[in-house]
Amino acid sequence: MQNVLQQLIRLQELDTRLDALIEKLGDLPETVKTLEIQIRNEQEQNAIRRTSIEENAALISSNSVKVEDLKTKITKYKEQLFLVTTNREYDALTSEIEFNEQGIKDAEDQILQSEEENNRMNEAFGKTEKNLEDMAQRLEETRGSLAETQKATEEEKQQLEDTRKTLIALIPRNFMSVYQRVRKARNGLAVVPLMRDACSGCHNRVIPQKRVDIYKKNQVITCDYCGRFLFAADDSEEDE
Ligand SMILES: [Zn+2]
């Protein structure tokens, strides 16, 4: 049992150090992820804008052709007006001219609308492109810092992980599962020393019988309150 406790203490030391190494990376990994998502979203937005801009441009172009066609027709009708002999023919041509004039007006309105839309869209597109440049730069910098920090800690991390692997192979499964559960639930700390007769994890007093057992070191004791494994720290005297 003494052996298991020593192993659990050692495991906690390794995990605490590994946590510290991960902590060292800070929010760099998260920042990289967030920036990547933001960049993808903005790129998608601009791809949509680009399609709309192209569609509007096509609409402007087809409406311009339409205006020219209608103008030609109107000119032709106006010439024919001089040749008509009956009121009926005159009225028919006049209403045809009016109809085509309305067509020109509609097409021109549409052109104006498409142009306004494209002005807005181009402005947004440009802003987003500028924003994308900034974000890409920030992403590159953050990735650089992350890689640098990772490189600095890589060797130590690898050593710790290797040692950890060897160690957990020795620890009985039931203790490992308690360790993992408590560590997850208790902020990464599953093995703590007894300090001034209390669990140094949750600061609750440990009952005398348990304290005796902890000092005897012949069984693995857990805190009644937080479930952490308890051990007698060398520097913690039973000062009662
Ligand atoms: Zn406790």
Q: State residue 1's pLDDT score.
A: 62
| Cα 208 to averaged position of ligand 1 atoms, centre (Å) | 14
Q: Going residue by residue through the chain, which has 240 residues, state the pLDDT in tens, using 9 for 90 and above.
A: 668 999 999 999 999 999 999 998 999 999 999 999 999 999 999 999 999 999 999 999 999 999 999 999 999 999 999 999 999 999 999 999 999 999 999 999 999 999 999 999 999 999 999 999 999 999 999 999 999 999 989 999 999 999 999 999 999 999 999 999 999 999 999 999 999 999 999 999 999 999 999 998 888 999 999 999 999 987 444 433
| Cα 106 to averaged position of ligand 1 atoms, centre (Å) | 79
Phi and psi at residue 171, in whole multiples of 5°?
Answer: -80, 130
Sheet holding 191-195, edge to edge: 198-199, 191-195, 229-232, 221-222
| Cα 194 to averaged position of ligand 1 atoms, centre (Å) | 9
Work out the burial of residue 66: count CB atoms within 10 Å of its CB; fewer than 13 is exposed, 13-18 middle, 19 or more buried.
middle
Tally the C-alpha atoms within 13 A of residue 103's C-alpha that lie toward its C-beta. 18
| Cα 193 to averaged position of ligand 1 atoms, centre (Å) | 10
| Cα 148 to averaged position of ligand 1 atoms, centre (Å) | 38
> What are 143's two structure tokens?
């990735």
| Cα 118 to averaged position of ligand 1 atoms, centre (Å) | 65
Note whether 168 and 10 are within 8 A (CB). Answer: no
| Cα 166 to averaged position of ligand 1 atoms, centre (Å) | 28
Ordered by where they begin, the domains of the chain are 26-154 (1.10.287.1490), 173-232 (no CATH)
**Residue-by-residue DSSP string for the chain:** -HHHHHHHHHHHHHHHHHHHHHHHTTTHHHHHHHHHHHHHHHHHHHHHHHHHHHHHHHHHHHHHHHHHHHHHHHHHHHHHHTT--SHHHHHHHHHHHHHHHHHHHHHHHHHHHHHHHHHHHHHHHHHHHHHHHHHHHHHHHHHHHHHHHHHHHHHHHHHHHHHHHHHHHHS-HHHHHHHHHHHHHTTT--EEEEETTEETTT-PBPPHHHHHHHHHTSS-EE-TTT--EEEE-TT-----
| Cα 231 to averaged position of ligand 1 atoms, centre (Å) | 11
| Cα 38 to averaged position of ligand 1 atoms, centre (Å) | 43
Q: In whole angstroms, give the CA distance from residue 172 to residue 168.
A: 8
Q: In whole angstroms, give the CA distance from residue 49 to residue 56.
A: 10
Q: State residue 237's pLDDT score.
A: 42
